[in-house]
Amino acid sequence: MRNKIRLLAVVAVGLLTLATCPAASAASAPRLLLEQDFPDPDVVKTGTGYFAFSTSTGAVKVPLAGAPAPEGPWRVIGDALASVPKWAKPDGGFWAPDVTQLPDGTFLLYFSAAVAPGGEMCIGTASSAKVEGPYTPVGDAPLVCVPGDGGDIDPQTFVDTDGTRYLLYKSDGAATGPPAAIWSQKMLPDGRTPTGPRIELLRADLTSEKAVVEAPSVVKTPSRYLLFYSADTFQSSGYHTGYASAPTLNGPFVKADAQFLSTDLLGGKVDGPGGADVVDGHIFFHGWLGGGRTARGLYELPLGFPNDVPQLG
């Protein structure tokens, strides 16, 4: 009887561990919000509903979608970017946009674009009085274009609880240099003026990451900073979302032991889940549609943070 009780206790502990493991399969199936190409989503909550922005698709520079609630219904409603910046290649596309509201009420759009004529990716900005735009490019040069980075992409704003503003982004790295890394740059309230040195938050140092970390998104819980990021190559079914945690935004960030979103963890319901953005108790991300590599749809899952640990709902 004693051995039986011990065995039951071991089983119970194992089940509890599985139940609380952040990499466990989602309790509910991912919701497909847009069954069309809408990669690298950035979602913004406003008083009138939700807006989402994505990487260029076709001739649309920065696709814009809207919905009354996180679950939808979502509808693509236009192009958020009014014109191509002077410094960018006209046909180079605009990647992984991010929209934030400044203290004066202005909305600022960050984006990555290829610099003319060389083609290196750098980060620029555009502004608008309304969240849905149209956004007018600001300045005659990129905001972030660090020599030696191999390109800078995937901007993401984070405003801390004290109102301090930061811009996170990815340095591409190079085949003969260091692997990709994610950086944090403190900004002045205008969102366009860096202050102080940038800080490296994490680097692609795991075999499963294939020298790629990108698409940062930070969430502040009561006692931790959680940094969600994508890893592996985006064309692959191995593309996945992980997260790391730290006591401060400056780190040190420690990566979770297991992936958070992956093709396998989601039971094959999403192919290559990545480009995640966490907003208002939901994680939004993209995945390949139709078993091909031509379009990435927009997906959503509820997300909570019991004991400062992300958990899918």
Do 42 and 53 meet the contact criterion of CB atoms below 8 Å apart? yes
pLDDT at position 70 is 97
Mean pLDDT to the nearest integer, 221-244: 97
20 found inside a domain:
no
CA distance linking residue 160 with residue 143, whole number of Å: 21
pLDDT at position 281 is 96
- Sign of torsion, CA 307 228 32 135? positive
Q: Which domain holds residue 248?
A: 28-312
15 found inside a domain:
no
Residue 169: is its pLDDT beyond 70?
Answer: yes
188 found inside a domain:
yes
pLDDT band at 14 (very low <50, low <70, confident <90, very high): very low
Residue 17: is its pLDDT beyond 50?
Answer: no
| Centroid of chain to Cα 256 | 17
Burial annotation 97-110 (CB, 10 A radius, 16+ → b, else e): bbbbebeeeebbbb
204 found inside a domain:
yes
84 found inside a domain:
yes
pLDDT at position 117 is 81
- Sign of torsion, CA 76 79 81 86? positive
- DSSP letter at 57? B
Check which CATH number belongs to the domain holding 246 and give it.
2.115.10.20
Output the average pLDDT for the chain.
91
6 found inside a domain:
no
1 found inside a domain:
no
Q: CA nearest 40: which of 155, 167, 158, 204?
A: 155
Q: How many domains does the chain have?
A: 1
pLDDT at position 175 is 57
158 found inside a domain:
yes
pLDDT band at 176 (very low <50, low <70, confident <90, very high): low
